[in-house]
Amino acid sequence: MTGFAHRIDCVEVAAPILRLCWEMGWNEANGGNFSWRLDAEEFDADMRHLLSEAMPRDIVLQNPQPELDGDYFLVTGAGQFFRRATSHPDDVFGIVRIVDEGRVCRTVWGFGGGGRPTSELATHLTAHAVRKERSEGRERVVLHCHIPEFIALGFLLPLSSDVLTRALWQMMPECFLVFPDGIRVVPPMCPGSAEIARASAEALAESRVISWAHHGIFASEESPDSVFALVETVEKASGIYRKLLSAGGPKYELDLGILEELAKKLGASLVAPPNIPKARAGS
């Protein structure tokens, strides 16, 4: 895609996607973060030799994650810029391993030799633990972006998961197919806190996509490519809805019965069971 090459496969795949997030206007300055649960067996076989490049550094987790014990993650570093993902990959990314029965996060590679994982590490790990179980291991990648149209909606709509989900599903049939599990709204909270990690875990038990109201999106999917597509679809639908609000609001509503019909027809091919809100927008 970009001709970008790196000696670590997962960095080679992830860095161009992060750079693209910046080009889309989703991750200004140090905004946003990314993590990818790696296939531990593959990683051990192919990459173990790289781990001697750095002295291991440990962080004791306030929120232990026993379900992730032994897992490796590619993670963005605290304060790092998505814009620099392809030009400075060894600073922007690090690889950590969860050890000691989930109590310790050990940096085994990267972060420019002295950095540390993202300030949102607690939420990323909690999200992985929840989504690994809910998706039976399918989902591996978590992406947080400050997508502007979606953030704008948080100031125009009530803080309601049903209202937001319904508004976006109505914008394009693709939305229902890409996020049939809808969007859960987490009310405004301090970024990087244990509180937001806890609230996010509850929301992520229901859906792969959550809105950190007045802040951004937090989404989980199978690969860097598919999580990008998920965020892209949500942001496009948000842009259409915001345009409609600027024009005085939608004059007509999609009949959710059509979505119910679609869900029956597509059934097993949907990525998650649909969660069709009963309430009408604004009610």
Q: Between residue 215 and residue 234, which ones bind Zn ion under the rule CB under 5 A?
A: 216
Return d(Cα 273, Cα 4) in angstroms, integer: 37
Q: Is 65 one of the binding residues for ligand 2HA (CB under 6 A)? A: no
The residues that are catalytic are: 120
Residue nearest to ligand 2HA (CB): 191
Name the minimum Å distance from CB 183 to ligand 2HA. 18
Q: Is 32 one of the binding residues for ligand 2HA (CB under 6 A)? A: yes
For 101, counting Cβ atoms within 10 Å of its Cβ (0-12 exposed, 13-18 middle, 19+ buried), the class is exposed
Stretch that binds Zn ion, among 49-57, 212-220, 237-245, 273-281 (CB under 5 A): 212-220
List residues bridging with 33 in a β-sheet: 144
Sign of the alpha-carbon dihedral angle for 66, 198, 119, 214: positive
Q: Is 31 one of the binding residues for ligand 2HA (CB under 6 A)? A: yes
Name the minimum Å distance from CB 216 to Zn ion. 5
Task: Output 152 or 245, the one with its CB closest to Zn ion.
Answer: 152
Nearest in space to 227 (alpha carbons), one of 213, 210, 242: 210
Q: Between residue 190 and residue 219, which ones bind ligand 2HA under the rule CB under 6 A?
A: 191
- Measured CA angle at 32 (ends 9, 178), to 5 deg: 75
Q: Is 64 one of the binding residues for ligand 2HA (CB under 6 A)? A: no
Give the length of the chain. 283
Residues 148-187 as x/- pattern, contact with ligand 2HA by CB under 6 A = ----------------------------------------
| Sheet with 57-60: strands ordered across | 57-60, 104-110, 93-99, 72-76, 33-37, 141-145, 216-221, 209-212, 183-186
Q: Total binding residues for ligand 2HA by CB under 6 A?
A: 8
Nearest in space to 35 (alpha carbons), one of 107, 124, 97, 109: 124
Q: Is 33 one of the binding residues for ligand 2HA (CB under 6 A)? A: yes
CA atoms within 13 A on the CB side of 134: 23
Return d(Cα 40, Cα 251) in angstroms, integer: 51
Q: Is 188 one of the binding residues for ligand 2HA (CB under 6 A)? A: no
Q: Is 117 one of the binding residues for ligand 2HA (CB under 6 A)? A: no
What residues line the site for ligand 2HA (CB under 6 A)?
30-33, 119-120, 144, 191
What residues line the site for Zn ion (CB under 5 A)?
216
